Amino acid sequence: MFCRLLSLLVAGAVLAAMPVWAESPPLSEATLSCLGCHEDLHPGMVEGWRASRHARITPGQAMQTTGLASKISSTDIPSGLQDTSVGCAECHTLRPDAHADTFDHFGYQVHVVVSPEDCATCHATERKQYGQNIMAHAYGNLVDNAVYADLRTSINGVLQPGEKQLSAKAPNNATKAESCLYCHGTKLRFDGLASKDTAYGPVMLPEIAGWPNQGSGRINLDGSKGSCAVCHTRHRFSMAEARKPYTCKECHVGPDVPAYKVYTASKHGTIYSAENNDWDFSAVPWEAGTDFRAPTCAACHISLVTKPGGTVVAERTHALSPRLPWRIFGLPYAHPQPKDPQTSKIKNAAGLPLPTNLDGSPASDFLISAEEQDKRKGNLQAVCLSCHTQSWVDGHWQRFENTIEVTNEATATGTGLLAQAWENDLAEGLPQNSSIFDEYIENVWSDIWLIHCNHIRFASAIGGGGDYGVFADGRYVLNRRLREMHDWVESRLPQQ
Ligand code: HEC
Ligand code: HEC
Ligand code: HEC
Ligand code: HEC
Ligand code: HEC
Ligand code: HEC
Ligand code: HEC
Ligand code: HEC
């Protein structure tokens, strides 16, 4: 063991003397020591890091870039971190007292789960904005909401024969972690250290419940929310990767949230597929027309977009909401965006934690005003206007807002039929104080708003994917499902 360590340290020293290292910025002693072992243990990880900007530019050098191209938003980076590259130790030993999983690792106080709060040491603006993004609150938005808890159990529970109908056995933690919480994020828990046999003999390592997970609202071991690796995967932490639509596909492919499917079938997506090899995904700022000819998800929702000459078309936002007037994801109706990203605080008129009432009216106290919606519409349309005229964009918007209206009407028809079923005791729901998701007719109702109305709205908003608005889970299936609901209820009502 000692010999192996020694030979790796020597190998590290030889590597350090090679010219490629001389050109790269210096590494801290601690990081050299991590590399001494991890290079051999996990070459995949180390090479990913080596190709990243973290390995190639020190915070001190990066701080010399000012203006729009600056990638370092913190102004108070500790001097001890400024002159070496951002290596293993610079991230994994930050703020040791804040992390429940900090453990003694060959003399270093290392933690496994590097959190957004750690990244904030150098990227304070991105962390602050991501904290205002609904994605960072996805765990609580789901788990702290009693209505959604019923939905979770109805989907994830193992169904078993019951008295009148199938009953769902509550899902266990392993199932929860790989279903809803895979995307929404788990709550991590440190369960102490355990000895593991490794190439370096027995090593004490942390046991973390809920790990691994890269859900967008993961609750970390320092109490912070989310994972920047949702879009910047470790250890490359690349901006170019995050600008491509595949990054979002992992969680936004549907059928409840079909953004990616719709995008790939749209004109924008078609142009992206045909031409993206010739686009510049590393340029900062990102020039519409010069660097890319059609928008990706990031261009419409996140990126700093400029015109040739440097005029800013849209500011970068890790919060996303400044460019979102509507919440088109039905809950169960489309509605203005919530004021606060923590949606479990919302109460509708009936006291349910939902942003709309069952008749379709919005829980307005908790949602943004029409004025704020207009402002956000302007922010989003500014991106469109670098490639389209106002009349093109207005025409698109008119159809989109019409789609919100007509899909909400369809949801109201379905909800009316469900209420009729409840009132006539054909099913047990709100009047009976029972789950609204655990019976056949209730499942058909949730298909209507969760699958079909969402398909139609996404196809309309993102501008294309025609089939997803019609035959592929869109209007064609929506109306068939509504007729099914109607027939189911009618045929069971007592004869007059
Ligand atoms: C003497 C060799 C050695 C040194 C030095 C070393 N590590 Fe490790 N490290 C290991 C081994 C072995 C493992 C266990 C690998 C496994 O379970 O696959 C490990 C595991 C880890 C883990 C993961 C824990 C887990 O179970 O998920 C992290 C994070 C880590 N090391 C970071 C570092 C950092 C940061 C440094 C430098 C400050 C460092 N290591 C220095 C050998 C070393
Ligand atoms: C810029 C900060 C940063 C740097 C630099 C960094 N890491 Fe990490 N590392 C992370 C983050 C973030 C995660 C967890 C990703 C997530 O949120 O799920 C991670 C995860 C890990 C893990 C556990 C993941 C697994 O697949 O088992 C190990 C081990 C690890 N890093 C070792 C290293 C080593 C070795 C280096 C140096 C080559 C390094 N890290 C450099 C941020 C960093
Ligand atoms: C100690 C400071 C420091 C920490 C901590 C840090 N970074 Fe960085 N980050 C940098 C530097 C320096 C650069 C390169 C800046 C440049 O190229 O001008 C950078 C660049 C980036 C980029 C842009 C990469 C590209 O391809 O253009 C991303 C994304 C990024 N960091 C994400 C993260 C994430 C996520 C974390 C936490 C897991 C993190 N950083 C932690 C200093 C840091
Ligand atoms: C790891 C999963 C994951 C990835 C990857 C991901 N998202 Fe999300 N996103 C979510 C979840 C979960 C929510 C919903 C959170 C909630 O409602 O509580 C969400 C919500 C959103 C919203 C709605 C915001 C609002 O306020 O209504 C937008 C827009 C969005 N994501 C865009 C993107 C884009 C663009 C990308 C890629 C650059 C992306 N997401 C990548 C999981 C992810
Ligand atoms: C593949 C990733 C993924 C999985 C798995 C997933 N979701 Fe989501 N969820 C999302 C995304 C993305 C959004 C945001 C959609 C939007 O705003 O357009 C979201 C939003 C939600 C919302 C809205 C929350 C709010 O108030 O902001 C609820 C409720 C929800 N999901 C329930 C569930 C349930 C229940 C499960 C498991 C049965 C689940 N989700 C599984 C990706 C996922
Ligand atoms: C939903 C996806 C998503 C998440 C989550 C995310 N980012 Fe980003 N990030 C992006 C995109 C897209 C870009 C490119 C923005 C642009 O084109 O202007 C980017 C760019 C960056 C940059 C480079 C900015 C520059 O000036 O070049 C940094 C640094 C960064 N992100 C840090 C972070 C940190 C830190 C976190 C976690 C707190 C994080 N990101 C979480 C999508 C994401
Ligand atoms: C041409 C610009 C454009 C592109 C490209 C685009 N979107 Fe959107 N997206 C929109 C518009 C417009 C809306 C509706 C905005 C509103 O009114 O809130 C929207 C809404 C959304 C929402 C719904 C938020 C909510 O209200 O629930 C999500 C999630 C989303 N987009 C994700 C994505 C993803 C993921 C991609 C890439 C696969 C993508 N978008 C590509 C323009 C775009
Ligand atoms: C970087 C340039 C760029 C941006 C930004 C952009 N588009 Fe486009 N868009 C295009 C190009 C190029 C086409 C293909 C035009 C053609 O077919 O000749 C297109 C096509 C479309 C179409 C397709 C029409 C059809 O019938 O297929 C719609 C709708 C559209 N854009 C709406 C928007 C909206 C809305 C936004 C902003 C939310 C937007 N675009 C942002 C470049 C862009």
Ligand number nearest to the C-alpha of 291: 8
Band of pLDDT at residue 232, cut at 50, 70 and 90 = very high
What are the E-state strand segments in 64-188? Answer: 103-105, 108-110, 158-160, 167-169
pLDDT digits (tens, 9 = 90+) for 81-119: 999 999 999 999 999 999 999 999 999 999 999 999 999
Indicate which residue's Cα is closest to atom 3 of ligand 5: 183
Copy the structure tokens of residue 122.
């150098």
Write out residues with Cβ below 6 Å of ligand 4: 134-135, 137-138, 141, 183-184, 214-216, 230-231, 242, 247-248, 250-252, 297-298, 301-302, 320-321, 324, 327, 337
CA distance 256 to 469: 13
Domains along the chain with CATH numbers: 115-230 (no CATH), 237-492 (1.20.850.10)
pLDDT digits (tens, 9 = 90+) for 149-186: 999 999 999 999 988 888 888 899 999 999 999 999 99
Q: How far is the CA of 269 from the centre of ligand 7 (A)?
A: 13
Band of pLDDT at residue 5, cut at 50, 70 and 90 = very low
H or E element at residue 125: helix 124-131
pLDDT digits (tens, 9 = 90+) for 307-326: 998 999 999 999 999 999 99
pLDDT at position 254 is 83
Q: Are 261 and 253 contacting, i.e. CB atoms less than 8 angstroms apart?
A: yes
Copy the structure tokens of residue 346.
């919302």
300-309 contact pairs (CB < 8 A, 24+): 300/380, 300/383, 302/242, 303/243, 304/68, 305/383, 305/386, 306/68, 307/386
- Residue 245 CA, distance from chain mean position: 13
Cβ of 121 less than 6 Å from ligand 3: yes
Q: What number of helices (H) and strands (E) belong to the chain?
A: 24, 11
How many CA atoms does the CB half-sphere of 18 hold within 13 Å? Answer: 8
Please report the atom of ligand 5 found closest to the CA of residue 454.
Answer: 18
User: Strand 189-198 vs strand 158-160: parallel, antiparallel, or unpaired?
Assistant: unpaired
Q: Which residue has the tokens 């936004």?
A: 252
DSSP category for residue 109: E
- Ligand 5 mutation pick, 184, 321, 356, max ligand atoms within 8 A of CB: 184
Report the pLDDT averaged over residues 468-481.
97
Q: What pTM, to 2 d.p., does this model score?
A: 0.96
390-423 vs 475-492: helix axis angle to the nearest 10? Answer: 20
Write out residues with Cβ below 6 Å of ligand 2: 34, 38, 45-46, 49, 54, 86-88, 90-92, 112, 114, 214, 227, 229, 234-235, 237
Q: How far is the CA of 176 from the centre of ligand 6 (A)?
A: 28
> What is the overall mean pLDDT for the chain?
94
pLDDT at position 496 is 65
CA distance 353 to 357: 10
Write out residues with Cβ below 6 Å of ligand 7: 245, 248, 252, 257, 259-260, 263, 268, 295, 297, 300-301, 324-329, 380, 461-463
H or E element at residue 38: helix 29-41
Q: Using the predicted structure, report yes or no on whether residue 197 has a pLDDT greater than 60.
A: yes
Q: How far is the CA of 126 from the centre of ligand 6 (A)?
A: 7
Selected residue with higher pLDDT from 23 and 269 = 269
Q: Using the predicted structure, report yes or no on whether residue 20 has a pLDDT greater than 80.
A: no
Q: Which residue has the tokens 């951002």?
A: 86
Q: Using the predicted structure, report yes or no on whether residue 11 has a pLDDT greater than 70.
A: no
Copy the structure tokens of residue 314.
């849209």
